[in-house]
Amino acid sequence: MARSAIINVMVQAAMKAGRSLARDFGEVQNLQVSLKGPGDYVSQADRRAEEILFTELSRARPGYSFLMEERGVVEGDDQQHRWIVDPLDGTTNFLHGIPIFSISIALERQGQLVAGVIYNPAMDELYTAERGSGAFFNDRRMRVAARRQLSDCVIGTGIPHLGRGHHGRALLDLRNVMAEAAGIRRLGSAALDLAYVAAGRMDGFWEDALSPWDIAAGILMVREAGGFVTDRGGGQNMFDTGSVVAGNEAVHRTLLETLKKPVS
């Protein structure tokens, strides 16, 4: 598959940062970990990967702005373009030796998502998408799954933990979706959850209390794979609300309806 220049830039940056994460993952027991907040750990590996991504993307596209998990907002001279970057989505998995984590890079142009890359270096799985050009898994085109009934579907979600999320709301959602779906999965990386929906591995996904860098690349990926993504109210304010609901047209619609139900 011939990649565009911008996707090549993003992939090369992700691969370089991924090699750094893979080395650290192999010695995960030796990492020095600092406490960033309740249940939210950030490691030296996280910082190293972010530095690589910042350096590589800045070199390739000087002047672009950044929104990054650790650095926050970095204003560039080019106000039309912004990188949205998570150098390690799934930090808790990483620190426990669970090989489900990812690097997520998205590019906004004039406020619109135009390119996305999600890379899991532990499994060497690369997901890419560009607006109007489709979505790909290791250079093979992706399509969302075709299942239409929740009773046939595996649905991904996030589960609030210490210091994050609304536990009561999550338990209500779980009860309602559990009663309808064939299965529920919690991977621990929202970026990979959305990539899995785009690839048809999972039929749908919902989660709250997310940040833009968790979901930006994945939102574009699902859409370019033929799926639908909104916030839990059915709107397009995912970055503001922190909520996301994704799936094919039928699953997305049913999930939105199910998430509105009271406990029966």
Strand duo 183-185 + 154-157: pairing: parallel
Q: Enumerate residues 6+ apart whose C-beta is below 8 A from 161.
A: 39
Nearest-angstrom CA–CA distance, 92 and 115: 27
**Token representation of residue 137:** 């898994």
Nearest-angstrom CA–CA distance, 196 and 62: 32
Nearest-angstrom CA–CA distance, 191 and 217: 7
Find out whether 69 is annotated in a ligand binding site: yes
Instruction: Tell me the one-letter amino acid at 224.
Output: E
Nearest-angstrom CA–CA distance, 79 and 229: 26
Strands (E), 44-185: 64-68, 72-74, 78-89, 102-109, 112-120, 125-130, 134-137, 140-141, 154-157, 183-185
CA distances from 125 to 18, 66, 138, 196, 214 (A): 11, 24, 6, 11, 17
Altogether, the residues listed in the chain come to a count of 264
Strands (E), the chain: 33-37, 40-43, 64-68, 72-74, 78-89, 102-109, 112-120, 125-130, 134-137, 140-141, 154-157, 183-185, 204-207, 228-230, 244-247
Q: Enumerate residues 6+ apart whose C-beta is below 8 A from 149.
A: 250
Known binding-site positions: 69, 86, 88-89, 214
Known binding-site positions for Mg(2+): 69, 86, 88-89, 214
